[in-house]
Amino acid sequence: MTAAARQTRFRIEGMDCASCAAKIDTAVRRVPDVTDVTVSVVAGTMTVMHGDRLDLEALARKVGKLGYKAAPINPSAPALQQKEHAGYDHGPECGHEHHDHGHDHGSASSAANAHRSTEREHNVLEGMHGHDHGPQDGPWWKTSKARLTITCGIALAVAFLLAQVFPATQPWGFLVAMAVGLIPIARRALFGAMNGSPFTIETLMTVAAVGAVIINAAEEAAVVVFLFLVGELLEGIATGRARASIQALATLMPKTALVERDGSTETVPAESLAVDMIVLVRPGDRVAADGVVLSGESAVDEAPVTGESVPKRKETGDNVFAGTVNQEGVLRVRVTAAAADNTIARIIALVEEAQESKAPTERFIDRFSKYYTPGVMVVAALIAILPPLVGGAEWSTWIYRGLAVLLIGCPCALVISTPAAIAAALSAGARRGLLMKGGAVLENLGKVDRVAFDKTGTLTEGKPKVTDIVSVARGERETLRLAAALEAGSSHPLAVAILAEAAAKGVPVTAAAEAGAVGGKGVVGTVDGVKLFLASPRAASEKVPLDEALSVRIASLNDEGKTVSVLIADTEVAGLIAMRDEPRDDAVAGIAALRELGADAVMLTGDNTRTAKAIAASLGMEARAELMPQDKQKIVGEMRAQGKFVAKVGDGINDAPALAAADIGIAMGSGTDVALETADAAVLHGRVKDVANMVALSRLTMDNIFQNITIALGLKAVFLVTTVLGVTGLWPAILADTGATVLVTANAMRLLAWKGLRDV
């Protein structure tokens, strides 16, 4: 195996800001046999591309010296296998079959492979003080970082009391209090500098604190160190919310499942469930795994996973998702995905992967900060040195101001402004079934001004429904009863539609005698001694002449894009049944929502022109029909050439070329693996309005990022001026930096509360 042929993911604990990630990235890249590194703050992970000779334990120790804990999630997995993480390889939960596609969603995704191994191994450097507010089992106040902050605070309080009672102890008490907090910070600064990151916030803090002591400002130095620790703690708590919002999905999974074996049941751990096991889900239970209902009927609350407020009816053959709640009857479910590959595990894995992909804005700020931090140190040095040298000013005053500028210049708030917002938006989107492959996709979605939709399975349900029953010689109910009798037991999509309509209207169905198919024409059978023939209008006219009024009605229904079947009873026309693949319930609202956002919609379909135009007219959009896959791809290319930023939405294999050709490819969640792999984003629950939701979320996120950058740079600019003028000092400087970081993070976290566009 060649160098860089392996990939290992690590769980990193104690990482809460972009500068943490930058230090880890820089240090790990210096390790021999490492060729590439990707660090995700919110996911709390690091992905390392490397050769066979890499010592994983040594790499973990190096990360530990920086103040973090690193543990392999999937040691030395082949890179080719791990590459599959990037794709939306949806398995059984996307198994809503379409009669015109026949997609089989079989094997489970490898996107959650990273979750199959033990995720937590303790690093040998357990006691290192660091940014210990990453993924953790206990409350924040039990972390080593919180303990350090509390200890430093107590030491500071004791120093103040001693200074009041024994004034002679004043500098020494504050020096001790400062040392409690500064020593771990200085160690991290030293290890960072030794591993290629000399310009870190720890370096700035160490220089500022030591400098303050030199100019006899020990009291201020101690307070500044304490405020710095408090700020880091607040920053970590706020940042952890984005991580927790997705990880909280894992808590939806029940701990146990009731498995049926050899006629009896036994309780087993839910994580031990394997494909094809049979589980019983009682009323009130959470579904323990993705699966298909074998028997039983019930209403299932899917709100925890899909966000849908109305419970869905589930019966034999329907799919159920892990984490949803059974409300009424007992369901027997065949497991179709193991615990590591179920819907919830897959969403978590996909969002973590997406968070490792940086947005263009974030990449720019990362590059900017590499020059910004050294620049701040140079400016601070000039402020401290030039006035005394050139103007004869007092050294202690200007060194003090230079140290304050060092603290003000900390880039934490700036570098976290974008990733915090991106992470919160990806998390909020995922909780509504909007999956985006990274920050770049999220950022670009807001630019969309033309959306090209596939028809079948995207704008429509992908299965026909009965729309009209026209009585001729028999009444509507009788026509439906006789037609359903002919179709009883058939799995043909048109037959399923007729039987579903009969069930919905409470029409009893008794299978016809002597039932059979007439190749290419229709079905025949006998009910109550009457010979029946359900056929296309052309085949029916060969048996019984259709009068002009009936022919006009059939033509009118055809013009509406409906398929018409004629029921003949003996020698007369009993009635007509018209069916059509109807638009999704939210299609009209979805297209209207896009229009309000300034994005116009067009339908691209391989279906016949008459049907396409009828559906498009009902949705208020343009239609282009009878297209081959290459035609769709060509049209998308033409739209882009006209200066449009195009999103293509589809679910079939024939959509893959157009999805790849568009600026943004969006797969409907019920689509094929090929469409999901090719797409940049996925609407997991098949709602048309969710395409508009994606665009709206993107624009909201970009507004949030702009606000964050304004807060970060604005506060720095104000305090830089006031510090140079001598109005503010070290305390306000550190409060400005900490305040900016917490404000930026809190502002980004507002995106977690996003619920989507309101229904009009």
Where would I find the beta strands (DSSP E) of 116-209?
none
Q: Taking Cα atoms as reference points, which of 543, 603, 592, 596 lies closest to residue 567?
A: 543
Phi, psi of 299, deg, nearest 5: -100, 130
β-sheet bridge partners, residue 38: 47
Q: Taking Cα atoms as reference points, which of 344, 320, 114 lies closest to residue 246?
A: 344
- Which of 388-424 are b and which e, b meaning 16 or more Cβ less than 10 Å from the residue's Cβ? eeeeeeeeeebbbbbbbbbbbbbbbbbbbbbbbbbbb
Q: Give just the sign of the alpha carbon dihedral 346, 352, 356, 361.
A: positive
Q: What is the rounded CA–CA span in Å between residue 162 and residue 438?
A: 54
Does residue 120 contact residue 11 with C-beta atoms inside 8 Å? Answer: yes
Phi, psi of 710, deg, nearest 5: -65, -45
- Which of 453-476 are b and which e, b meaning 16 or more Cβ less than 10 Å from the residue's Cβ? bbbbbbbbbbbbbbbbbbebebeb
Q: Taking Cα atoms as reference points, which of 253, 225, 306 lies closest to residue 669?
A: 306
β-sheet bridge partners, residue 436: 681
- CA-atom Rg of the chain in angstroms: 32
Does residue 67 contact residue 14 with C-beta atoms inside 8 Å? Answer: yes
Q: What DSSP state is assigned to residue 270?
A: G
Q: Taking Cα atoms as reference points, which of 49, 18, 21, 740 lies closest to residue 408?
A: 740
The 3-state DSSP class for residue 439 equals helix
Angle formed at CA 376 by CA 371 and CA 377, multiple of 5 degrees: 105
Phi, psi of 501, deg, nearest 5: -65, -40
Task: Name the active-site residue from 16, 132, 341, 454.
Answer: 454
Angle formed at CA 497 by CA 571 and CA 531, multiple of 5 degrees: 20
Residue 252 burial by CB count (10 A; 0-12/13-18/19+): exposed, middle or buried?
middle
Does residue 740 contact residue 716 with C-beta atoms inside 8 Å? Answer: yes
Q: What is the rounded CA–CA span in Å between residue 272 and residue 289?
A: 10
Asked if 663 is an active-site residue, the reply is no
Q: Hey, which residues are catalytic here?
A: 454
